[in-house]
Amino acid sequence: MPIRIPAELPARKTLVNENIFVMDENRASVQNVRPLHILIVNLMPTKIETETQFCRLLGNSPLQVIPEFLTMSSRTSSHVDASHLANFYHTFDEVRDRKFDGMIITGAPVEMMEFEEVDYWQELCEIMEWSKTNVYSTLHICWGAQAALYYHYGVKKHLLNQKLFGVFRHRVVHKGSILFRGFDDQFDVPHSRHTTVSREDIMAIPGIKILADSDVAGVYAASDKGGRKIFLMGHAEYDLYTLRNEYMRDKNKGLDIQVPYRYFPNDDDTQEPVSSWRSCAHLLFANWLNYFVYQSTPYDINDISQADNTNDGLCIE
């Protein structure tokens, strides 16, 4: 189950230590398979941490996966060295003539702003429009999901009275969803956001189905009929300490931040948090790569724009 990444990428050492199957380019070159090319639009300030989180999940797949990272040319990142971006990231101009089997648009800490106020909004809109013909299936995560619902369907986000922060219990509501094949009836996902999208607005979109939700956190997953556009409102990719790091950062700044819900034992932030979402996260990404990318994308990646997803993508039958 290999993921193929550059030897110098900081995530590599972490993944090898976790026994994730990482393949170097020499070994990959002798395998007679076509690797899956996944473009990750990394909008998070914690670039290296986010790279590791997604590479960890993409490494749990049956074929070669080549993740490539995209940075916004319309915004200069201040949280990572310019050399890291130069070595491991593309700009949109560098990939606009290429095709990708899959794409991930991450969350971003800009949800309190109107979409049009975000300095890279126009560039992101161009990328989302480009994805219709150059990417087979796109995962939109948290703010990335809200941004895509707004861009593609005009769905507005709404400010919450209190930050949705912690680990929440969810259920699969579309029982035929192969994105959630193998899931238990209930599963956990972390959330960390100040805004939401209403269930009624999503249900009003023709061709979009809600796949999973939560009594507390609201809609978690929705998708179009073929799985070309998938929207995930939470952060299944978060590692064990991501919520703790966010909490301690804000607490140390003296901000009004509540203890993450269902995260620390007895809500005691001096205790070690316990992961209850790791297995679900791996299964979610394995299902996406298998059913919505590998099983569906054309062998000739250049045929993506003409491809028609003939199986439902949501239903088992």
Among candidates 193, 200, 212, 197, which has minimal Cα distance to 150?
A: 197
Token pair recorded at residue 213: 């939700």
Given 49, 51, 111, 237, the catalytic residue:
237
Q: Is 111 left (phi over 0), alpha (psi -120 to 50) or beta?
A: alpha
- Determine the 3-state secondary structure of 283 from DSSP: helix
Given 84, 152, 170, 235, the catalytic residue:
235
User: Distance between CA 35 and CA 246 in Å, rounded?
Assistant: 35
CB distance 111 to 143 below 8 Å: yes
Residues in contact with 312: Cβ distance below 8 Å, sequence separation at least 6, in sequence order:
176, 225, 226
Active site residue 235: yes
User: Distance between CA 9 and CA 11 in Å, rounded?
Assistant: 5
CB distance 294 to 63 below 8 Å: yes
Active site residue 237: yes
User: Distance between CA 31 and CA 36 in Å, rounded?
Assistant: 13
CB atoms within 10 A of CB 81: 11
Given 142, 152, 174, 246, the catalytic residue:
142
| Active site amino acids | 142, 235, 237
